[in-house]
Structure 1
Amino acid sequence: MALWDRFKESAQGMQTQLTAKKNDLKSGAFRDASMAICALVAAADGSVAPEERRRVAALIAGNDVLQNFPAADLQRRFEDYLNRLAADFEFGKVAVLQEVAKVQKKPTEARAVIQIGIVIGGADGDFDKSEQGVVREACFAVGLNPAEFDL
């Protein structure tokens, strides 16, 4: 099986796991951390092209687990995090990773946030090295071993 096929299968499995835990993923910290990791993945290469912004926003709106929250609220938070990253990527990344770290004491939420980052990163068919790198950093922020997610 090709590497991409294995990854796609893994991402689909992660989405299934997320959906199964949907009722446990309703906290404000989870909402904020999820939008933070989506912004990190979208801006992983240091910039955010308009089409990337739209694509990730559409993925957020269509994600079953994130439908626990009002779409307009998610959109506003995602845009706020992207704006921080666009203003100064390195400084913004530190602040956005701090948002991700807020779920550190809740392992179910922490794993779900990392899984969302992987699902979003791979949705375009290319979970590239920069996207993997920011998700790996997010793993450290929430106290999870990146190897658990093959990162």
Structure 2
Amino acid sequence: MALWDRLKESASMMQTQLTAKKNELTSGAFRDAAMAMCALVAAADGTIDPSERQRVAQLIATNDVLRNFPADDLHRRFEENLGKLTADFALGRISVMQEVAKARKKPAEARAVIQIGIVIGGADGDFDQTEQAVVRDACHTLGLPPNEFDLG
């Protein structure tokens, strides 16, 4: 199977798993961590181009699991995290990763945050090395083994 096909299949499987847990994923900690994860993936290469920002914002708005929260609130949180990353990427990354860490106390939420990162990263068909590295770092922050998500 080609890498592109495996990537689409993996992102689709992650979204299916997320949707199955939708009713469990309603806490503020999950919301904050998920928006931080989206921002980290969007800015993984150190830059945030307008088309990628728009694509991720669109994915957030249409993701079934994230519909547990008001769309304007999600968008505001996503943009705040991007603002931290664009102001000072290294310092912003630390701050945004602290938002990701909010989901650490609940393993189901922590896994869902990682799955959202993979879905967002793979949505354009290219879950590149920098995006994978950010999601792998988030796994460590959340106390999850990266190989559980094929990020070994």
TM-score, with length taken from structure 1: 0.99
Q: Which runs of 5+ in 1 are unaligned?
A: none
* 1:39-62: CA deviation from partner (whole Å, max 9, x where unpaired): 000000001011111000000000
CA distance in 2, matches of 1:89, 1:133: 15
Partner of 1:116: 116
**Structure 1 segments (4+ residues) deviating >6 Å:** none
Partner of 1:65: 65
Find the residue that maps to 1:26 and give its secondary structure.
Answer: coil
CA distance in 1, matches of 2:126, 2:2: 13
Partner of 2:36: 36
CA distance in 2, matches of 1:18, 1:64: 9
Partner of 2:144: 144
Q: How many residues align?
A: 151
Alignment of 1:85-104 (within 5 A): 85-104=85-104
Query: Are the aligned partners of 2:7 and 2:125 in contact in 1 as well (CA < 8 Å)?
Result: no
In the TM superposition, residue 110 of structure 1 has moved relative to its aligned partner by 0.2
TM-score, with length taken from structure 2: 0.98
CA distance in 2, matches of 1:122, 1:114: 12
Q: Give the alignment's Cα RMSD to 1 decimal.
A: 0.5
CA distance in 1, matches of 2:70, 2:105: 25
Partner of 1:15: 15
Q: Which runs of 5+ in 2 are unaligned?
A: none
In the TM superposition, residue 115 of structure 1 has moved relative to its aligned partner by 0.1
Residue type of the alignment partner of 2:76: R
CA distance in 2, matches of 1:32, 1:113: 10
